Amino acid sequence: MNPDLPSRLLGGLSPSRFMQSHWQRKPLLIRGAFENFRPPLSIAQVKRLARRDDVESRLVWREQGAWQMERGPFGRLPPAREPEWTLLVQGVNLHDDAAAELMARFRFIPDARLDDVMISIATDRGGVGPHFDSYDVFLLQASGRRRWRIGRQRDLELDPDAPLRVLRRFEPTEEFVLEAGDMLYLPPAYAHDGIAEGDDCMTISIGFRSPSRAELARGMLEFASESLADRTPPALRGHYKDAGQPAVRQPAALPEAMIEAALAAVSAVKFDTALASRYLGCWLTEPKPEVVFDTPDPATLPDLDTDWPSSGELVLDRRTLMVHRGRMLFINGERAEIDATPALRGLADRRRLACASAEPDDDARAALQEWLEAGWIRWSPPAR
């Protein structure tokens, strides 16, 4: 998507304009964001996903006015004629190519922020209660109708008795009914409550990861610690010494010299953009625990090492995460041992590489062959 051209997806705004005026700032209601929209999965297919133990799912309903929640997998779900229940299925983009392609429509936002596609199906009056998210979200109505009430409120106290994050008090200021193809963008901490109207309600949530500052700090410290185990800088070699330490009258007191030595040791660890890039590149591309790549039959694969294809293209698997910074390239939780050449950066940015447009060097070919055999990428022959 050209970031400077108007887009139907964003209600006629260009991606650049949307990011300047709405992203992390204010909601945007987009009527007809998708024309003649067809959901990537049917309601029956979503229910089948909820039966699998490698798929995260939840069932939410109200019983005698109290919220109830159960985690999947589900061998049986309530009948569609029974009102007021909602099924939520996370990470649908990991299990379905069409859902992954839908998420790719939002890649005008950095991949480092994209998280997952969640699909919820609900019977009449079904919902999950008024709540807020700590991240940005696009709420796309896939089928049926859902009434949304939203509000920017300061009181974010949660109901302590609810098994899910439900606001104790909700004060909506706006209300919309979304139909198939309509979409609502909400920035973080914007309270919202969606209620299904009818029995065929499906809503698709495109969510974005937003790590806390504490999470980033912990991750950086842990990564730095692991890096020290691999390579200790000269300033941190050797042991603590205290020649000249006088005899003490309070042996249980911590020595000031040891405290100063600890602080000096920490200051010798180099926290810079290179360390942050390595940490974020590995962390942000780490596959989720439930991800398992399909290992292809070696007999069906081209040999990229010795016979680079003159046609077709290499395509990243929908579960593969790949980012780059400068000469560094990261894929599925690892820093690649090769430089991020223009061709490999193009593979990460476009998620595909036309074989006729580039013939990588031997090291890159070897890496691509390894990823091909691991199921991280696949070769797609030319269409006939």
Look at residues 8, 5, 3 and name the one whose alpha carbon lies nearest to residue 34.
Answer: 8
Answer whether 109's CB lies under 8 Å from 172's CB: no
In whole angstroms, what separates CA 372 from the centre of its chain? 23
Please report which confidence band the pLDDT of residue 7 belongs to, taking 50, 70 and 90 as the band edges.
very high
Span 144-175, pLDDT tens digits: 999 999 999 999 999 999 999 999 999 999 99
Mean pLDDT of 97-108: 97
Query: Torsion angle of alpha carbons 161, 165, 166, 172, nearest 10°?
Result: 160
The pLDDT mean for the chain works out to 95
Span 290-304, pLDDT tens digits: 999 999 988 889 999
Two tokens, residue 339: 């430089």
Q: How far is 174 from 72, CA to CA, in rounded Å?
A: 33
Which phi and psi angles does 82 have, rounded to 5°?
-85, 125
Please report which confidence band the pLDDT of residue 358 belongs to, taking 50, 70 and 90 as the band edges.
confident
Span 55-89, pLDDT tens digits: 999 999 999 889 999 999 999 999 999 999 999 99
pTM as predicted = 0.92
Query: CA-based angle 16:285:48, to the nearest 5?
Result: 95
Q: How far is 172 from 191, CA to CA, in rounded Å?
A: 8
Neighbours of 244 (CB within 10 A): 6
pLDDT at 233: 83
Indicate if the pLDDT at residue 253 is higher than 80. Answer: yes
Indicate if the pLDDT at residue 384 is higher than 90. Answer: no
Strands 183-186 and 137-151, bridge-based pairing: antiparallel
pLDDT at 359: 84
Indicate if the pLDDT at residue 313 is higher than 80. Answer: yes
